């Protein structure tokens, strides 16, 4: 190569590099578009990944500066633009740029149009094409045109087919060849894949997350009752919002029931009929993808045209017209008795039609638009309970794109937070030192001033940070100048939080007291009046109904159930429950006033006022439902998917309930957990019964009624029993103090118990100070006689106080634990002491009779010798005998009757 050619090539290279830096390239004559220097994008059709606003559609790159959009659906946004970015992640998308002058500020319904790129934009700048909402930095949907890994370019994977055209997506396929409207809010989409001998089906409906979507084929031999013998797929979402799709077979118009003999009938999974499905021979439905967006459920699954399960699956003839069946209804999650998702009655949302899956059908115009688009959790602030702010992984963040770590409030991921003006809100900030919590007017957070955007900070800042071991507690009181909508965010990172709704005062201000019930799923509010109580209950979890009950458990409780019926009317009904099945729920006619119930964002709130003492006086159950403000009110709760006031059945049973009652102290405005009877306290009670009910009374009876037996056996029995009883009393006392972690004199039981222990301790001290016993013939000293009086009175008084401590202890346990066993033990204890009293009366009668017989037989005495321990110094007969002895001035001798 000569020097002139070398210089020319070098000049061309320099010019080419310079043109690349100024984003200029050679254009085709008349096109006005820069050419694409990277791999061609014009050989593929790309499918949008739906993120929000029900966006779906496909695009084709037409040329170097335009692309075609077809089958485009989208709900209206605020300021929505075509957006380009180098990658699909948060840091890439938020740094993206507008690529077209065309604005998308309307609702699109299966539209098609061509989009022109801006003059300074080329396809080389765009790896990800998105539909972007500018104010909220929100991704409605996007396509990945190419990925870059280690500088190497490759096209996005996961091809599928729409109308015979190979498309590219990113694992969230929402496009199908066909679509059929089943109901106003329910559609079925499908694509027949004859090569793989399967049909891919997509079900979408604007429904709540507790609602199932069912679709399948009717029994071809049925002329009516098309559901019976139907082969359907039941789809829905679990509590963690993960999708499921399972094969069901219908044998009866009822919920799936398993009889005692193992017979299965109703709407049941195929696997239940066979008992198990270890290798997938019965459940042939395969879940592909599912999501919930904007209050709309979408689930994609595939099923074979000809299944190996010929017993419960119907063969599909793709060329024939077959009858299909569908239904919508509430679904109950698995439990210990039925470990599968249980479709409830569809409530009229069902139907059937004929369909040929090989024919092209498209009568779905535009996206589904749900009335309630808010699907994330709702947290309502309470002036008493602090809101715990922490961080966790982003799983269902409501505003994509999102960072990997977002803010949690009360263990809920980025919930909608509702506060009330004038009500102080306490935050316990435990999100880490790298997260500074604040409430701002900016929907993105991350310190808007760094983006040259002004913001108003209403609360928080750099000091609002802490960890679980050392949280920071701060209080915010929204005022009348706080806007209706603000945002909680992190000062150091964007898009970690979500919305704060500021409303006028509500339940916390309307009621004087509130407590959180067991498991922190229900908040209980109340206000006491002279003769009535106003009550409100609010669920903290989405459900179809909320029930609270007064009682220690579901059985033998008075229940109040709040729900919203099909017409949108809120209701509160009352019941008496005396069993564990639906037939044990008996409606009552309580006098409730100011009744309100509402369902908002899946959260049930009910309110009512009732008298403290019902006005009725007959034998109706509600007449006994008395609320005594001075006695702790035991409150339980339950939630479920559906309630019906007309036909109570198993579908009304709860799906989640409290694990134990909460003792609400109405006068104090506080609550404490109802606990099971602690084993150590049970041991304490048994030891005290053994001491005060058997050993100590036995020692006294030995000293009273066994002195006539020769020898000092009575004295040994008396001493051993008393000291054994005293030792057990001390052990029982230590057990109780250790278990309760201290000693409190607030209860009557403790007062009686401590007095009994003091009297019990006084007896061995008294015995140690006992005056010397007089010898035979010696007169009893006044000290000895006084000691006898004190010893007997203190001993018998200790027994009386100890028995009172036992009875008050049983009463205290009965009030605290409300256990039937405790009440039975109380009556057993009373019966024991009644028997003991009768026994003492009988022994006293025998003792007095023996003494009368001895006095009447004096003429038969003979000279004898013995100890005086069998003489009761406090006995009136003994006092008279001593008086006669002194008056006759005779020598005192021990005589025995001749009859011995």
What's the CATH number where 485 sits? 2.60.40
Residue 764 located in a structural domain = yes
Q: What is the pLDDT of residue 35?
A: 59
Answer yes or no: is 156 within a domain: no
Give 229's contacts (C-beta < 8 A, 6+ positions apart).
Answer: 218, 219, 221, 222, 249, 250, 251
Question: How far, in Å, CA of 534 to CA of 720, rounded?
Answer: 60
CB proximity list for 709: less than 8 A, separation 6 or greater: none
Last residue of a domain, one of 671, 692, 714: 671
Compare 897 and 354 and report the one with higher pLDDT.
Answer: 354
Q: Give the span between the Cα atoms of 307 and 353, in whole angstroms.
A: 22
Q: Is the pLDDT of residue 423 over 60?
A: yes
Whether 690 and 705 have beta carbons less than 8 Å apart is answered as no
The per-residue pLDDT for range 86-138, each reduced to its tens digit, is: 998 888 999 999 999 999 999 999 999 999 999 989 898 899 999 999 999 99
Residue 603, domain member (yes or no)? yes
Instruction: Determine how many CB atoms are found less than 10 A away from the CB of residue 396.
Output: 17
Kindly report, residue by residue over 508-557, the tens digit of the pLDDT.
878 889 999 988 889 999 999 989 999 999 998 888 899 999 988 888 89
Q: Is the pLDDT reported for residue 435 higher than 50?
A: yes
| Mean of pLDDT values over 796-818 | 78
Q: How far is C-alpha 302 from the chain's CA centre?
A: 34
Q: How many CB atoms lie within 10 A of CB 582?
A: 13
Which residue is listed with tokens 């961080």?
A: 391
Buried b (16+ CB within 10 A) or exposed e, 401-412: bbbebbbbbbeb
Per-residue pLDDT at 660 exceeds 80: yes
Task: Say if residue 658 is in the same domain as residue 747.
Answer: no
CA 803 centroid distance within chain: 44
592 shares its domain with 691: no
pLDDT confidence of 148, banded at 50, 70, 90? low
In this prediction, residue 762 has a pLDDT band, given cuts at 50, 70 and 90, of confident
* CA–CA dist 801, 819 (Å, integer): 25
The CATH number of whichever domain residue 633 belongs to comes to 2.60.40.1210
Same domain, residue pair 488 and 550:
no
Distance CA 184, CA 202 (A): 16
Q: What pLDDT band is residue 342 in, cutting at 50, 70 and 90?
A: confident
Res. 863: pLDDT tops 90 = no
- Number of domain units in the chain: 5
Task: Lowest mean pLDDT of 411-420, 426-435, 500-509, 863-872, name the range.
Answer: 863-872
pLDDT higher than threshold 70 for residue 391: yes
Same domain, 201 and 325: yes
Lowest mean pLDDT among 157-171, 246-260, 675-689: 157-171
Three-class secondary structure of residue 612 per DSSP: coil
Q: What pLDDT sits at residue 815?
A: 64
| Collapsed DSSP state (helix, strand, coil) of residue 895 | strand
Q: In which band, very low, low, confident or very high, does the pLDDT at 351 lie, cut at 50, 70 and 90?
A: very high
> Which residues fall within 8 angstroms of residue 808, CB to CB, at 6 or more apart?
747, 748, 749, 752
Query: Residue 461's pLDDT is what?
Result: 93
Q: For the chain, give the percent of residues with pLDDT over 70.
A: 83
* Residue that wins the pLDDT comparison between 484 and 348: 484
Is residue 132 a contact partner of residue 95, using CB atoms and an 8 Å limit? no
CATH of the domain at 804: 1.20.120.1770
Q: Is the pLDDT confidence value at 843 over 50?
A: yes
The predicted-structure confidence for 88-101, as pLDDT tens digits, reads as follows: 888 899 999 999 99
Number of helices (H) and strands (E), helices first, in the chain? Answer: 11, 53
d(CA 611, CA 528): 10
- What is the spatial distance between Cα 545 and Cα 784, in angstroms, rounded to a whole number? 77
Q: What's the CA gap between 452 and 468, in Å, rounded?
A: 34
Indicate whether 662 and 516 sit together in one domain: yes
pLDDT of residue 40: 66
Q: Cα torsion at 450, 455, 461, 466 (round to 10°)? A: -80
Pairwise CA distance, residues 26 & 32, whole Å = 9
Taking only the tens place, the pLDDT of each residue in 694-731 is 888 888 888 888 877 777 788 888 888 888 888 998 88
Give the phi and the psi of residue 638 in degrees, each rounded to 5. -155, 155
Asked if pLDDT for residue 849 goes beyond 60, the answer is yes
Which are the contacts of 330, defined by CB distance < 8 A and separation ≥ 6? 210, 211, 212, 344, 347, 544, 641, 642, 651
Among 201-210, 498-507, 738-747, 801-810, the minimum mean pLDDT is found in 738-747
Q: What is the mean pLDDT of residues 352-379?
A: 91
Is 9 within a domain? no
Query: Do residues 555 and 651 both lie within one domain?
Result: yes
pLDDT at 213: 96
637 lies in the same domain as 686? no
Mean per-residue pLDDT of the chain: 82
Domain span holding position 132? 44-144
Over residues 163-179, the mean pLDDT reads: 68
Residue 240 confidence (pLDDT):
81
Do 191 and 332 lie in a common domain? yes
In a domain, 167, yes or no: no
In this structure, the answer to whether residues 197 and 312 fall within a common structural domain is yes
Q: What pLDDT score does 354 carry?
A: 94
CA distances, 465 to each of 406, 424, 471, 629 (Å): 15, 19, 8, 42
Give the separation between CA 4 and CA 10, rounded to whole angstroms: 10
Distance CA 893, CA 900 (A): 17
pLDDT band at 858 (very low <50, low <70, confident <90, very high): low
DSSP 432: B
Cα–Cα distance for residue pair 98/83, rounded to 1 Å: 5
Residue 158 is predicted with a pLDDT of 39
Choose between 38 and 658: higher pLDDT.
Answer: 658
Is the pLDDT confidence value at 167 over 50?
no
Instruction: Among 476, 501, 526, identify where a domain stops.
Output: 501
Measure the CA angle with vertex 162, ends 156 and 165; round to 5°.
70
DSSP string for residues in 250-264: ESSSSB-EE-TT--E
Reply yes or no on whether the pLDDT at 818 is more than 70.
no
For residue 28, is it within any domain? no
Check the CA dihedral 654-659-660-664 and report its sign.
negative
Answer yes or no: do 688 and 814 share one domain.
yes
Mean pLDDT of 291-308: 92
**Secondary structure, 3-state, 189-205:** EEEEECCCCEEEEEEEE
Global pTM reads 0.62
612-659 pLDDT, tens per residue? 999 887 778 889 899 999 888 999 999 988 888 776 665 556 778 888
Q: What is the pLDDT of residue 799?
A: 86
Cis peptide upstream of residue 484 (ω within 30 degrees of 0): no
Between 51-55, 78-82, 420-424, 473-477, the lowest mean confidence (pLDDT) is in: 420-424
Evaluate if residue 682 carries a pLDDT over 70: yes
In a domain, 593, yes or no: yes
**Does residue 227 sit in helix, strand or coil?**
coil
Query: Where residue 802 falls among pLDDT bands split at 50, 70, 90?
Result: confident
Domain boundary among 94, 119, 144: 144
Shared domain for 692 and 763, answered yes or no, is yes
The answer to whether residue 543 sits within a structural domain is yes
Q: Which residue has the higher pLDDT, 462 or 22?
A: 462
Shared domain for 346 and 408, answered yes or no, is no
Which pLDDT score, from 0 to 100, does residue 24 have? Answer: 34
């Amino acid at each position: 190569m000569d020097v002139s050619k070398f210089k020319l090539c070098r000049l061309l290279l320099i010019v080419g590099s310079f043109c690349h830096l100024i984003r200029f390239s050679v254009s085709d004559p008349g096109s006005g578009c820069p050419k694409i220097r990277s791999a061609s994008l014009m050989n593929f059709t790309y499918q949008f990944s739906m993120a929000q606003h029900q966006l779906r559609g496909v695009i084709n790159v037409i040329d170097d500066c335009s692309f075609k959009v077809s089958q485009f659906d989208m709900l209206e946004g605020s300021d929505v633009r075509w957006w380009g970015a180098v990658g699909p992640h948060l840091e890439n998308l938020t740094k993206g740029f507008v690529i077209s002058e065309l604005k998308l500020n309307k609702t699109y319904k299966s539209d098609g149009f061509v989009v022109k790129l801006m003059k300074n934009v080329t396809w080389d700048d765009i790896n990800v094409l998105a539909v972007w909402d500018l104010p909220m930095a929100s991704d409605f949907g996007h396509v990945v045109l190419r990925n870059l890994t280690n500088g190497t370019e490759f096209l996005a994977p996961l091809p599928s087919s729409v109308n015979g055209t190979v498309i590219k997506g990113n694992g969230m396929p929402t496009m199908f060849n066909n679509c059929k409207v089943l109901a106003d809010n329910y559609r079925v989409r499908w694509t027949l894949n004859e090569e793989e001998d399967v049909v891919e089906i997509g079900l979408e409906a604007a429904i709540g997350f507790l609602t199932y979507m069912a679709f399948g084929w009717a029994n071809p031999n049925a002329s009516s009752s098309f559901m019976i013998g139907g082969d359907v797929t039941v789809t829905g979402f679990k509590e963690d919002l993960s999708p499921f799709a399972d094969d069901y077979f219908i044998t009866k118009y009822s919920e799936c029931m398993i009889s005692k003999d193992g017979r299965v009938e109703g709407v049941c999974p195929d696997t239940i009929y066979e008992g198990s499905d270890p290798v997938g021979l019965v459940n042939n439905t395969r879940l592909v993808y599912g999501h919930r967006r904007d209050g709309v459920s979408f689930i994609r699954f595939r099923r074979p045209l000809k299944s190996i399960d010929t017993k419960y699956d119907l063969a599909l003839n793709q060329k024939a017209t077959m009858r299909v069946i569908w239904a919508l209804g509430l679904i109950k999650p698995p439990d210990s008795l039925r470990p599968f998702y249980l479709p409830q009655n569809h409530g009229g949302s069902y139907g059937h039609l004929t369909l040929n899956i090989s024919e092209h059908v498209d009568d779905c115009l535009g996206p589904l638009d749900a009335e309630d688009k808010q699907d994330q959790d709702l947290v309502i602030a309470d002036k008493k309970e602090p809101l715990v702010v922490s961080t966790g992984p982003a799983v269902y963040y409501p505003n994509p794109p999102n960072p990997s770590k977002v803010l949690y409030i009360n263990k809920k991921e980025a919930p909608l937070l509702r506060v009330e003006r004038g009500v102080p809100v306490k935050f316990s900030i435990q999100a880490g030192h790298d997260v500074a919590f604040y409430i701002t007017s900016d929907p993105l957070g991350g310190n808007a001033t760094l983006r040259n955007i002004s913001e108003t900070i209403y609360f928080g800042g750099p000091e609002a940070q802490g960890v679980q071991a050392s949280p920071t507690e701060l209080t915010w009181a929204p005022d009348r100048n706080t806007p209706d909508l603000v945002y909680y965010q992190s000062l150091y990172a964007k898009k970690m939080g979500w919305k704060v709704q500021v409303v006028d005062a509500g339940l916390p201000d309307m009621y004087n007291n509130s407590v959180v019930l067991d498991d922190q799923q229900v908040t209980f509010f109340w206000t006491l009046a002279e003769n009535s109580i106003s009550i409100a209950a609010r669920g903290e979890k989405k459900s179809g109904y909320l029930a609270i009950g007064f009682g220690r458990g579901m059985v033998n409780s008075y229940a109040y159930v709040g729900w919203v019926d099909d017409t949108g009317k809120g209701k509160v009904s009352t019941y008496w429950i005396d069993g564990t099945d639906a037939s044990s729920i008996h409606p009552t006619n309580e006098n409730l006033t100011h009744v309100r119930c509402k369902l908002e964002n899946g959260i049930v709130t009910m309110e009512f006022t009732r008298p403290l003492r019902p006005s009725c006086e007959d034998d109706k159950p509600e007449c006994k439902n008395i609320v005594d403000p001075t006695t702790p009110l035991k409150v339980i709760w339950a939630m479920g998917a559906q309630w019906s006031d007309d036909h109570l059945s198993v579908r009304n049973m709860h799906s989640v309930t409290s694990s134990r009652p909460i003792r609400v102290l109405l006068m104090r405005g506080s609550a404490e957990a109802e606990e099971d009877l602690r084993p150590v306290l049970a041991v304490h009670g048994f030891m005290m019964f053994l001491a005060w009910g058997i050993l100590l009374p036995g020692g006294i009876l030995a000293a009273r009624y066994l002195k006539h037996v020769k020898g000092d056996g009575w004295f040994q029995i008396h001493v051993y029993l008393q000291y054994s009883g005293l030792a057990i009393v001390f052990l029982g006392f230590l057990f109780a103090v250790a278990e309760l972690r201290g000693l409190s004199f607030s209860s009557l039981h403790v007062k009686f118990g401590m007095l009994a222990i003091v009297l019990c301790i006084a007896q061995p001290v008294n015995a140690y100070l006992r005056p010397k016993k007089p010898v035979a013939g010696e007169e009893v000293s006044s000290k000895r006689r006084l000691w006898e009086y004190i010893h007997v009175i203190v001993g018998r008084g200790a027994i009386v106080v100890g028995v009172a401590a036992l009875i008050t202890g049983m009463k205290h346990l009965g009030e605290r634990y409300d256990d039937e066993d405790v009440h039975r033990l109380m009556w057993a204890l009373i019966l024991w002491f009644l028997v003991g009293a009768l026994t003492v009366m009988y022994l006293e009668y025998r003792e007095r009779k023996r003494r009368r017989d001895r006095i009447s037989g004096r003429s038969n005495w003979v000279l004898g010798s013995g100890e005086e321990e069998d003489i009761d110094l406090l006995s009136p007969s003994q006092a008279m005998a001593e008086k006669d002895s002194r008056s006759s001035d005779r020598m005192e001798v021990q005589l025995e009757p001749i009859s011995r």
